Chain A
Amino acid sequence: MKQPSNKALVAIGTLVSSLFLIWSSIANGQVSDGPSYEDLLNGFSDPTRWLTYSGDYSGTRHSPLTQITPDNVDQLRPVWTFQTGTTTRGRGFETTPLVDNGVLYVTGSNNYAWAIDARTGRAFWQYRRDLPNDLTYGASAPVNRGFGMLGNQLFMVTLDAHLMSFDRRTGDVLWERELADYQVGYSATMAPLVLDNKVIVGISGGEYQTRGFIDAFDPVSGERIWRFNTIPGPGEPGSETWPDDPAILAAGGGGAWMNGSYDPDLNLIYWGVGNPNPDYYAENRPGDNLYSNSIVALDANSGELRWHYQFTPHDINDWDANHVPVLANIEWQGEPRRVVMVGNRNGFFYLLDRVTGQLLLGKPFTATTWAREIGADGRPIVLNDGSQGCLPDPWGSTNFYPPSFNPDLDLFILTARETCATYVPEEPANTRGRSNNGGTVFIDAEQGYGALRALDIHTGDLEWEFTYPSPTFGGVMTTASGLVFAGDHEGNFMAFNAETGENLWHYQTGSRIWGAAAMTFMQDGLQYVLIPSGSTLTAFALP
């Protein structure tokens, strides 16, 4: 028997080892390509990619791309429009697409999802989840805010409170796990936060008989690694801010329905928590009601609480703190500081030390009469609980739609809402599967308007604003070339000069921009900017 040559042996060995690699990657469910955790850590460093909801872990939504500038943005024109064929009447198309290697990964209303050719807007595949016909809508509306991605896996949460994993090449479902019972009122809408070997998701349903949580899952096995309950259990730290009643704690609300941000050096995730349940009626929940309306800093490995800060103690206005926490390393009063910034639904801009949770600055960015300053104890000095005239409405002075931070100008840019509402609490029935607003809100629609506002992060002072005709739900993206992209309730997608607030360009998309912010990437040498609106996703580039 002829012996194989050394060369052949090497070739066979290579073949065997590559077969083994393929086999082991299949057997382990591991990925052979697609973005790694290192790629996610590197954020915006590859200009052809946008790999997480905010583009990187910091939540600044500030792209380094500079092809489109204040000087040429007036030439921006649509390249293609993708029609989703599904919509959420009365709300919006709230997703942020991800892009890798020329393919967009997009989620839509009613748990549709697509892979789309970034050059042409043509879909490679479409997914639609068969949803139960008795949804409780703990999410308020059948929306979704985007995928998480790692390797060849995509992760999406569902309206019936599941976490799903897909093969990004086919849209095939790899696994799904129930987060909680949707029939109670749990739901999920946020874009999963993907870390190294963890997929982190938060739950919706704070208007129902729910207890909020943040979960970490193993991306390969789909097994849950840890859970942080946003409402403490009896006897746990924080439970002293509630009545001594396990039933009230077990239905305390505190949804965690927006994305968190991540500091890999501190290995902490930062996450906003929503309103206590019920929203407006608070007779049965005296106390601060931790960790509702707070930001929590959690150890990413264990889910243990490191610190928290409560923006709105004992909330009675549905002013959730479900915002993208914006992380930055800045110079603060002459010293370098690692900070987290939040433009909050209660009308205040906050800047906190993200290592310790110490409050450095809290200042109103609207005309709210609820409070005008934060006391030395870190608590708002409440001037108007609603008995002294109208308050901002339950959608708040801003909402979950992303703000952006421009580090070159030290400007925090957000969409503000000026509104006037009267709250009349009423004891709710507290029924499983039924929302629990606990009262009625009378909104004076004649008095509302919206504004894009740029705040100096060192003072909270307003640097510039651009006003919109009505209270607006559009998010914000900034670029290193000094542009701000934003959208309004009348459907305009717009570009502004980040230094001055001057409007430089607009395009009427045909439907309000609601809950979405733009994203951008390079493709074939062109900088693309994408915005979801209504049932369409439109891509723009220079000629």
Chain B
Amino acid sequence: MLAWLASAGSASAQAVNPLQSDPRAAGAGGSIFRAQCATCHGADAKGIEAIDAPDLTLIWIRSETTDESVFQIIRNGIAGSVMPPHGFPDAQVWMLVSYLRSVGAVGTVNRIVGDVSRGSELFNDNCSRCHRVDGTGGSLGPDLSSITSRRALDVLFSSIRNPSASIARRYKPVSFRTAENERVQGTIKSEDVFSLQVMDSNQTLRGFIKTELSELTRDGQSLMPAFPENLLSESEINDIMSYLQSNSDR
């Protein structure tokens, strides 16, 4: 019944991508994407924040995203937004869907070999003060509940060994002294010419007027400490990863 309703709602779209087994579709879709979509969504499909154009490599992480729902958004646009409807032939829309599938964020496909329960303990000892998994833990760093399905294992390893090498937007570090002479360290959640919105190292959201601050520095060092081999061995990191993977499986 649901499938019938979906197909009745759009005379032209099929529920399944008819090109999903065609290896050429993603390449052809990429050409269309670069000519038609990249101005807003970026040449790498990762979006442009300044114009609210979303990162399209992350759309597949949402469980409600299907080939057909992506087809419909390309076809109909998003009303009241800069995202227009597109009159491409169906086949070309499906090529775009294939392309977006091909660039979708791919996490760790293989089963990570590690001790899940030891990983859970290590996570609680080293990570959970700042990172949340399945609703428990801190908020200073990103929620890691489904991180293994979004990031490759080597990327996660390097984030632990050298967290300052690449710091995501909304986690950029800052430190300053307030008018009350309090030393504050935190991550920048938002900022304009006059004000700064910060999560401080106590994980409290705080707003500041810039003219009331002194010694404001953005030194580029992540608030996350680096974990070299002597603090977390490779096998211990694997244990943590297997714990995170077991969690994202649920």
Question: Does chain A have a CB within 8 A of B50?
Answer: yes
Residues of A66-121 contacting chain B, CB below 8 A: 86-91, 109-110
B43 touches A490 (CB 8 A): no
B3: interface (CB < 8 Å): no
Cβ of A506 under 8 Å from chain B: yes
Residue from B34, B76, B82, B193 in contact with A91 in the complex, judged by beta carbons closer than 8 Å: B82
| Known interface pairs A426-B34, A434-B36, A441-B38; A491-B192 also in contact (CB < 8 Å) | yes
Q: B82 touching A439 by the CB < 8 A rule?
A: no
Q: How far is the CA of A471 from the CA of B84 in the complex (A)?
A: 24
Complex interface bits, B52-95 against A, C-beta within 8 A gives 1, otherwise 0: 11000000000000000000000010101111111110000000
| CB closest residue in chain B, given A494 | B193
In angstroms, Cα B86 to Cα A375, docked, is: 43
Whether, in the assembled complex, B168 has its beta carbon less than 8 Å from a beta carbon of chain A, the answer is: no
A141 in the interface (beta carbon within 8 A): yes
Would you give the shortest CB distance from B84 to chain A, in whole angstroms? 4
Residues of chain A contacted by B81 (CB below 8 angstroms): 88-90
Query: Quick one: CB contact mask for A260-282 with B, threshold 8 Å, 1 for yes?
Result: 00000000000000000000000
Contact A435 B78 (CB under 8 A): no
CA A439 to CA B34, docked complex, whole Å: 6
A445 close to B192 (CB less than 8 A): no
- Residues on A with beta carbons closer than 8 Å to the beta carbon of B80: 86-89, 109-110, 142
CB proximity of A504 to chain B, nearest CB, Å: 12
Q: Which residues of A contact B51 (CB under 8 A)?
A: 90-91
Chain A residues near B202 (CB-CB < 8 A): none
B235 CB-CB contact with A under 8 Å: no
- From known contacts A135-B85, A136-B84, A492-B192, infer whether A437 and B39 are also in contact, taking CB-CB under 8 Å: yes
The answer to whether A442 touches B192, judged by C-beta atoms less than 8 angstroms apart, is: no
B26 at the interface (CB under 8 A from A): no
Interface contact A488-B34, CB-CB below 8 Å? no
Contact of A468 among B44, B85, B86, B193 (CB under 8 A): B193
Query: Which of A429, A471, A503 has its CB near the most chain B CB atoms (within 10 A)?
Result: A429
Residues of chain B in range 21-37 having any CB-CB distance to chain A below 8 Å: 31, 34-36
Q: Which residues of B contact A442 (CB under 8 A)?
A: 42-44
Q: Is A89's CB under 8 angstroms from B192's CB?
A: no
Chain B 191-204, CB within 8 Å of chain A: the 1/0 string? 11111000000000
- Distance from B37 Cβ to chain A, minimum over Cβ atoms (Å): 9
In the complex formed, the residue of A with least CB distance to B46 is: A445
A534 CA to B192 CA, complexed, in Å = 16
Determine if B40 is an interface residue (Cβ-Cβ < 8 Å).
yes
CA of A410 to CA of B83, assembled, Å: 41
Interchain CB contact under 8 A, A133 and B52: no
Most A-side CB within 10 Å, residue of B31, B34, B82: B82
The number of chain B residues touching the other chain, given as a range, is 20 to 34
Residue contact A88 to B82, C-beta cutoff 8 Å: yes
Q: Are B82 and A90 in contact (CB-based, < 8 A)?
A: yes
B49 within 8 A of A: yes
Q: Is the CB of B43 within 8 A of A89?
A: no
Chain B contacts of A506 at CB under 8 A? 193-194
Report Cα–Cα, A90/B53, bound state, in Å. 7
B130 at the interface (CB under 8 A from A): no
Contact of A428 among B35, B85, B192 (CB under 8 A): B35
Interfacial residues of chain A within 133-192, with CB under 8 A of chain B in the complex: 133-137, 140-142
Partner of A443, one of B48, B52, B87: B48
Is the beta-carbon distance between B50 and A445 smaller than 8 angstroms?
yes
Contacts of B35 in A (CB 8 A): 426, 428-429, 436-440
Most-contacted residue by chain A among B35, B51, B194 (CB, 10 A): B35
Does A358 count as interface, using CB distance less than 8 angstroms? no
List the B side residues contacting A142 at CB < 8 Å.
80, 82
In the bound complex, CA of A88 to CA of B81 (Å): 5
A470: CB under 8 A from chain B? yes
State A470–B192 Cα separation when bound (angstroms).
9
Contact of A440 (CB < 8 Å), options: B43, B191, B193: B43
- CB 8 Å contact bits of B79-113 with A (1 = contact, 0 = none): 01111111110000000000000000000000000
Is A469 interfacial (CB 8 A cutoff)? yes
**Cβ contact of A445, chosen from B31, B48, B83, B86, cutoff 8 A:** B48
Q: Which partner residue on chain B sits nearest A140 by CB separation? A: B82
A489 within 8 A of B: yes
Cβ-based interface call for A26 (8 A)? no
**Does the CB pair B193–A89 fall under 8 Å?**
no
8 Å CB interface, A483-542 against B: 488-492, 494, 503, 506, 508
Cβ B192 vs Cβ A488 within 8 A: yes
Establish whether residues A89 and B36, one from each chain, have CB atoms under 8 Å apart when the complex forms.
Answer: no
- 8 Å CB contact of B193 from A136, A426, A435, A469: A469
Please state if B191 and A89 are interface contacts (CB–CB under 8 Å): no
Are B192 and A490 within 8 A (Cβ)?
yes
Q: Inside 8 A of A424's CB, which chain B residues have their CB?
A: 34, 43
* Residue numbers in A under 8 Å from B88 (CB-CB): 434
CB distance from B146 to the nearest CB of A (A): 25
> Is there contact, CB below 8 Å, between A488 and B36?
no
Minimum C-beta distance from B217 to chain A (A): 16
* A433 at the B interface (CB under 8 A): yes
- How long is the Cα–Cα vector from A436 to B87 in the complex, in angstroms? 13
How far is it, in angstroms, between the C-alpha of A443 and the C-alpha of B47 when the chains are bound? Answer: 11
CA distance A219 to B44 in the complex (A): 48
Which of B50, B78, B194 touches A89 (beta carbons < 8 Å)? B78
In Å, the complex CA distance between A133 and B44 comes to: 29
Q: Does the CB pair B191–A490 fall under 8 Å?
A: yes
Chain B, 162-183, contact with A by CB distance < 8 Å: what is the 0/1 string?
Answer: 0000000000000000000000
A394 close to chain B: CB less than 8 A: yes
Contact of A489 (CB < 8 Å), options: B40, B50, B82, B87: B50
User: Please, which residues of chain B bring their CB within 8 A of the CB of A394?
Assistant: 39
Nearest chain-A residue to B84 (Cβ)? Answer: A137
State A448–B36 Cα separation when bound (angstroms): 23
Q: Give min CB distance, A277 to chain B, whole Å.
A: 13
Closest CB in chain A relative to B131 CB, distance in Å: 25
Q: Which interface residue of A86, A89, A468, A506 has the most chain B CB atoms within 10 A?
A: A89
Partner of B40, one of A88, A90, A469: A90
If A110-B80, A445-B49 touch, does A440 touch B34 (CB 8 Å cutoff)?
Answer: yes
14 A-B residue pairings within 8 Å (CB atoms): A88-B82, A89-B80, A90-B81, A426-B34, A428-B35, A429-B35, A442-B43, A443-B42, A445-B50, A466-B193, A469-B193, A491-B192, A492-B193, A494-B193
Q: Given A88-B81, A135-B85, 15 other A-B contacts at CB below 8 A? A: A89-B81, A89-B82, A90-B52, A90-B82, A110-B80, A133-B76, A426-B35, A434-B86, A437-B36, A439-B35, A440-B35, A443-B48, A445-B49, A445-B50, A491-B192
Q: Which residues of B contact A (CB under 8 A)?
A: 31, 34-36, 38-40, 42-44, 48-53, 76, 78, 80-88, 191-195
The 9 closest A-B pairs by CB, nearest first: A490-B192, A90-B82, A89-B81, A137-B84, A440-B34, A141-B82, A90-B52, A440-B43, A90-B51
